[in-house]
Amino acid sequence: MRTAIPISLTAKAIATGDERCCGYLYHRDFTPCIVENQLSDGDIVDLPDLKIKVMHLPGHTMGCTAYVFEHYGKTVVVSGDKNILLSKNY
């Protein structure tokens, strides 16, 4: 089931800079910023020569999100916790 609620809550936290941004964990201030676009699970971000799929992966945080794309024949997953290549030849 698709849901934009947790991801949109993350966008709201970024826009307001509230405690959900966890800057205090790193002894840093988090500066709020404008959120121009909100993404949902399964969305495709279409850039020149690159399509990036959005994956909502709640667990560590409710808004945990990963981004998947192909690069030189390998599947690349970018997330907040780890970055990995998925390939038989890796």
Under 8 Å between Cβ of 19 and 12: no
> Which pLDDT score, from 0 to 100, does residue 1 have?
47
Question: What average pLDDT does this structure show over 37-50?
Answer: 91
Instruction: Give the model's confidence band at 54: pLDDT under 50 very low, under 70 low, under 90 confident, else very high.
Output: very high
d(CA 67, CA 80): 10
> Which pLDDT score, from 0 to 100, does residue 86 have?
56
Instruction: Give the model's confidence band at 85: pLDDT under 50 very low, under 70 low, under 90 confident, else very high.
Output: low
pTM of the model: 0.67
The total of other beta-carbon atoms located within 10 Å of residue 80's CB is 12
d(CA 74, CA 49): 15
Under 8 Å between Cβ of 79 and 65: yes
Structure tokens at 63: 């808004």
Structure tokens at 42: 């399964």
